[in-house]
Chains A and B, each alone.
Chain A
Amino acid sequence: MSNNSGAKLIDAFLSASAAGIIELLSPVPPGWGGNLLRGLLHSIEIAVGATCLGLLIGTGGAYGKLYGGPVARDLLAVYTTIVRAVPELVLILLLYYAGTDLINQVLTALGYQRIDVSGLVAGIAVLGFVQGAYSTEVIRGAILAIPQGQIEAARAYGMSPSLLLRRITLPAMLPFAIPGLANLWLIATKDTALLAVVGFNELALETRQAAGVTKAYFLFYVAAGALYLLLSLFSNLIIGRVEAWSRRGMPSLKEAR
């Protein structure tokens, strides 16, 4: 019975009845466009949060790998190797269950109530942990690409490590790190779709629900793909600007070759 109505809807879609498509995708309640846009917003929130967390972990990790003691270096090597060898889907499940379990065990041990960790926070934490491993490698390579004389000069001026990081290392490594970090941002926006598997209502899951209810599978998955694609293309536009800005005052890539 539902199959029949589904076939009718698909027929409506196939015969290019524009009215039907607009009705299904309209942002007001009978249509599902609002749900998709809300999902996209959640996806962007998670991607931004995860990238920021990943950058923090990555900067710390790169510093640890370059200047840290032997134990820190080995532990970081284990971290980046494992995260990059295991599928994101498995890591997400593992970290999601392990993380929420750990928090609740700590809370019960301290005598507090168990809490439900919100999907947003869990998603950011899990994806940020994964992103951190990749950004560690990107930032480590970028710091190594800085002419060492600049860092030595800053040390000779008596800059404290934090001032050195803020004024010299971070700005000087940016042009070398931006292509890799931009790639990571694009990966982060696409990896948010994996959180649908642990039941967080970002774009992929909202799409799945909309498609399941209306049976217009093809239409909704194409719409979701278009939204992700728009996000990627828009990001590329911004990234180009940021890259040009971070390379200001440097010879252009073509001349440098």
Chain B
Amino acid sequence: MAGEATIINAAARTSLWLQPHRVVLILIALALAVSAVFFMRWDWLPQYWEMGLVGIWRSLWILAVTCALGFLFAVPLGLAQATGSFWFAAPAKTFCTIIRGTPLLIQLWLLYYGLGSLFPQYPWIRDSWMWPYLRQAWPYGVLALTLSFAGYEGEVMRGAFAGVPKGQLEAARAFGMSRWKIFRRIWLPQAFYRALPTLTGETVLQLKSTPLVATISVIDIFAVSSKVRQDTYLTYEPLLLLALIYMAITGILVLAFSRIEARIPVKIG
């Protein structure tokens, strides 16, 4: 019975999905895509595709590094706000408010142009091992994106840490676990599961923030498309391709995260 019902359901779903109007819409979309391929100019592609791949790689690399570092930074931020004393909670809350209350573009320019213009006056900075890095643009981009991700995710982690049921922590304490072990085995994993659905959205938002690093001369995929626009005087082709690339990356990210979410026990708390 049940099997039959699911089969009927599946059949009904495909027939619902492929309604006549949808076939027409798909055909129109295909026609648009084909006309874009044939009537727009794509002869610049062979010259730039290698640069584009490097750009995509750099965007993804920035995304991965800033999300990972930002999350590491968000855990203490969330913990301080959820349980810490006033002297820990207040600075963490101030940091999150400032990051969430100002545009990322201003944060980025403040770090790159502001801090970057202050550093050269100090001879000890110029002599240190950091100077070769501080003269480049990407460390500032990575730092700004990391801080931004930490600010937004810190707020999420605060809620996640506070949302873990008290009984779980009390049970762990009754087992005689040390504080560090409770944090590592009970508190952090459960808070992470709670934060995971929002983590998908935050990661997609972070991906959409990465093109801002192009404004401080980091050559990511957005900067490559700007270069193509400048070199070829084409407006739409590079931008449309760029939008398509970002949509593809977003799709892959969402799929990957839903895979991870599916592996996690549904019932928490």
Against B, the Cβ 8 Å flags (1 = close, 0 = not) of A190-232 are: 1111101100000010011001000101100110110011001
A237 near B: Cβ within 8 Å?
Answer: no
A70 near B: Cβ within 8 Å?
Answer: yes
Contacts of B105 in A (CB 8 A): 193-194, 196, 204
From known contacts A11-B121, A229-B98, infer whether A197 and B215 are also in contact, taking CB-CB under 8 Å. Answer: yes
Taking a contact as CB atoms under 8 Å apart, the answer to whether B115 and A218 are in contact is: yes
Partner of B22, one of A74, A94, A101, A211: A74
Partner of A70, one of B21, B107, B209, B246: B21
Taking a contact as CB atoms under 8 Å apart, the answer to whether A90 and B115 are in contact is: no
Stretch at the interface among B47-55, B123-131, B171-179, B234-242: B234-242
Taking a contact as CB atoms under 8 Å apart, the answer to whether A232 and B121 are in contact is: no
B200 near A: Cβ within 8 Å?
Answer: no
Chain A residue nearest in CB terms to B114:
A218
Contacts of B215 in A (CB 8 A): 197
Taking a contact as CB atoms under 8 Å apart, the answer to whether B101 and A218 are in contact is: no
Against A, the Cβ 8 Å flags (1 = close, 0 = not) of B105-129 are: 1110110011111100100000000
A residues 52-85 in Cβ contact with B at 8 Å = 70-71, 74-75, 82, 84-85
Chain B residue nearest in CB terms to A94:
B239
Taking a contact as CB atoms under 8 Å apart, the answer to whether B98 and A90 are in contact is: no
From known contacts A85-B251, A90-B222, A225-B106, infer whether A98 and B101 are also in contact, taking CB-CB under 8 Å. Answer: no
Compute how far the CA of A234 lies from the CA of B154 in the bound complex, rounded to whole angstroms: 22
Interface size band for B: 35 or more
Contacts of A97 in B (CB 8 A): 235-236, 239
Contacts of A70 in B (CB 8 A): 19, 21-22
Nearest-Cβ distance from residue A229 to partner chain B, whole angstroms: 4
Taking a contact as CB atoms under 8 Å apart, the answer to whether B113 and A86 are in contact is: no
Partner of A6, one of B21, B106, B117: B117
Contacts of B242 in A (CB 8 A): 90
Compute how far the CA of A37 lies from the CA of B247 in the bound complex, rounded to whole angstroms: 37
Compute how far the CA of A11 lies from the CA of B250 in the bound complex, rounded to whole angstroms: 45
B227 near A: Cβ within 8 Å?
Answer: no
Chain A residue nearest in CB terms to B214:
A89
Chain B residue nearest in CB terms to A85:
B250
Compute how far the CA of A11 lies from the CA of B243 in the bound complex, rounded to whole angstroms: 44
Contacts of B82 in A (CB 8 A): none
* Chain B contact residues: helix, strand, loop or mixed: helix
Taking a contact as CB atoms under 8 Å apart, the answer to whether B208 and A88 are in contact is: yes
Highest count of chain A CB atoms <10 Å: which of B104, B107, B239, B240 = B239
Taking a contact as CB atoms under 8 Å apart, the answer to whether B246 and A87 are in contact is: yes
B204 near A: Cβ within 8 Å?
Answer: yes
Interface size band for A: 35 or more
From known contacts A86-B247, A90-B222, infer whether A217 and B117 are also in contact, taking CB-CB under 8 Å. Answer: yes
Chain B residue nearest in CB terms to A9:
B117
Taking a contact as CB atoms under 8 Å apart, the answer to whether A218 and B110 are in contact is: yes
B residues 187-237 in Cβ contact with A at 8 Å = 204, 207-212, 215, 222, 235-236
B103 near A: Cβ within 8 Å?
Answer: yes
B100 near A: Cβ within 8 Å?
Answer: yes
B5 near A: Cβ within 8 Å?
Answer: no
Partner of B101, one of A82, A204, A232: A232
B6 near A: Cβ within 8 Å?
Answer: no
From known contacts A70-B21, A207-B106, A221-B109, infer whether A85 and B235 are also in contact, taking CB-CB under 8 Å. Answer: no
A93 near B: Cβ within 8 Å?
Answer: yes
A18 near B: Cβ within 8 Å?
Answer: no
Contacts of B19 in A (CB 8 A): 70
Taking a contact as CB atoms under 8 Å apart, the answer to whether A208 and B239 are in contact is: no
Taking a contact as CB atoms under 8 Å apart, the answer to whether A7 and B121 are in contact is: yes
Partner of A90, one of B21, B114, B211: B211
Contacts of A191 in B (CB 8 A): 103
Taking a contact as CB atoms under 8 Å apart, the answer to whether A89 and B222 are in contact is: yes
Highest count of chain B CB atoms <10 Å: which of A85, A98, A191, A232 = A85
B25 near A: Cβ within 8 Å?
Answer: yes
Chain B residue nearest in CB terms to A232:
B101
Contacts of B106 in A (CB 8 A): 193, 204, 207, 221, 224-225, 228
Compute how far the CA of A231 lies from the CA of B19 in the bound complex, rounded to whole angstroms: 48
Nearest-Cβ distance from residue B21 to partner chain A, whole angstroms: 5
- A-B interface, 9 closest residue pairs, ranked by CB to CB distance from nearest: A232-B101, A221-B110, A218-B114, A193-B103, A87-B208, A85-B250, A190-B103, A217-B113, A229-B101
16 A-B contacts, Cβ less than 8 Å apart?
Answer: A74-B21, A84-B204, A85-B204, A85-B246, A91-B243, A94-B239, A101-B235, A191-B103, A211-B114, A217-B114, A221-B113, A225-B98, A228-B102, A228-B103, A229-B98, A233-B101
Contacts A90-B222, A190-B102, A225-B110 given; 5 further ones with Cβ under 8 A? A90-B211, A90-B243, A186-B101, A211-B114, A222-B114
